[in-house]
Amino acid sequence: MVERQSPLEPEFHVGSHGNFEHGVEILLTETRPGSIVQLAAWPGEEKKLIAAIRTVTGLSLPDGAGGGLSDGVKSVFGFAPGKFTVADEDEGLAAAFAKAVTPAIGTVTDLSHGRTAIRIAGPKAEWVLAKFFAIDFALTAFPIGAGRSTTHHDVFAQIQRTGADQFDIYVFRSFARSFWKALCHASEEVGYEVQ
């Protein structure tokens, strides 16, 4: 088993940084899921795909655009019409879905290497993310479990809220280090810790 290399490695400095003498208000980490899979249903087959997600992950996806949930190990959310991102701590999700999602329902695309999952948590998470993304991070507008697709300049991002003040951001691997550096920079004023 060869371990996957993180794209953040040279810029991933565990410890407290920035204005942390006044307390750390941001926690940053890379969640490194074993599997990240994109599922896409043909029009009209969305319900069957949602059922397949339940079969494979045990997660019952709520109805509605951007709906999602996470049990701490597996996460799923909608990011586009008929399309969903599923992440799992373990590897092998793509193979499991390849059986459950038949060609009549839709397609399975393995992105386990292609996306990097960065977690930002803490009381200032909304504040720091507001520096990057022009979407409303307030809990009322962006409930726990829900997903959003948005962009920071050229960096495309899928964001899932996995807690009241916790967000998982899925970015393209090639952009991950650049985005991570920007995230650290933006967190300096409130003090942050890399775990």
Partner 1 sequence: MLITCPYCGPRDVIEFTYQGDGNRERPDPASQNFEAWNAYVYDRLNPAGDHNEIWQHSGGCRAHLRVVRNTLTHEISSVAFVRGDHGSAARRKAEDKP
Partner 2 sequence: MSPRRTDTGGRIDRLKTIRFTFDGVAYTGHAGDTLASALLAKGVTLFGRSFKYHRPRGLLTAGVEEPNALVTVLKGEVREPNIPATMVEIHDGLVAISQNRFPSLAWDVNAVNQLGGKILSAGFYYKTFMGPVIGPLKGTRFWMFCEHFIRRAAGLGSAGSAKDPARYERMNAFCDVLVVGSGPAGLMAAKAAADQGARVMLADLEPRFGGSTNWSGETIDGAPAAEWARRTVTQLQGRDNVRLLPRTTVWGYYDNNTLAALERVSDHKEQPAKGEPRHRYWAIRARSVVLATGAFERPLVFPGNDRPGVMLAHAAERYVNEFGVLSGERIALFTNNDSAYRAAVALKKAGAAIVAIADVRSELSAEMRKLATEAEAEVLAGHAVVATEGGKAVSGIKVQRFDMLTGALTGDERSIHADCLLMSGGWSPTIHLASQAGAKAEWNAARQAFLPPKPTQQWPTQQWIGAGAFTGSFSTAEAIAEGRAAGLAAAGGTSTPAALPTVEALPGDPDPAPVFEIRAKGKSFVDFQHDVTAEDVRLAHREGFVSVEHLKRYTTLGMATDQGKSSNVPGLAIMAEALSKPIPEVGTTRFRPPFAPVSIGSLAAERFGDLKPERLTPMHDWHLANGATMYSAGLWYRPMIYGLSGETIEQAYVREAKATRESAGIVDVSTLGKIAVQGPDAATFLDRVYTNMFSTLAVGKARYGLMLREDGFAFDDGTTWRLGEQDFLMTTTTANAGKVMQHLEYFLDVIWPELKVHVTSVTDEWAGAAIGGPKARQILAACVTDTAVDNATLPFMGIVRGEIAGVPVMICRLSFSGEMAFEVYSGAGHGTHVWEALIETGKPFGLVTYGLEALGTMRIEKGHVTGAEIDGRTTARDLHLDWMLSKKKPFIGSAMMDREGLIASDRLELVGLIALDNRPLNGGAHIVEALDEANPHGSIGHITACCYSPALGKHIALALVEGGKARHGTRAHVSDPLRNRFGPVEIVSNHFYDPEGTRMHG
Which member of 27, 135, 144, 182 binds partner 1 (CB under 8 A)?
135
> How many Å separate Cα 140 from the centre of its chain?
19
Of 66, 68, 145, 191, which lies in the binding site for partner 1, with binding defined by CB under 8 A? Answer: 66
Instruction: Tokens for 106, please give them.
Output: 């839709």
Tell which one of 131, 139, 164, 195 touches partner 2 (CB under 8 A): 131
Give the number of other Cβ atoms within 10 Å of residue 73's Cβ: 13
Q: Do residues 28 and 179 touch, judged by C-beta distance below 8 A?
A: no
Among the residue ranges 50-58, 69-77, 111-119, 160-168, the one whose residues contact partner 2 (CB under 8 A): 111-119
DSSP track, 137-163: -STTTS-TT-EEEEEETTEEEEEEEEE
Amino acid type, 180: W
CA 67 distance to own-chain centroid: 13
Residue 140 binds partner 1, judged by CB under 8 A: yes
Residues lying near partner 2 in the complex (CB under 8 A) are found at 1-2, 4-7, 9-10, 18-19, 21, 38, 40, 42, 103, 106-107, 109-115, 130-136, 138, 141, 152-155, 172-175, 177-179, 181-182, 185-191
Residues lying near partner 1 in the complex (CB under 8 A) are found at 41, 43-44, 46-47, 50, 63-67, 78-83, 134-135, 140-141, 148-151, 156
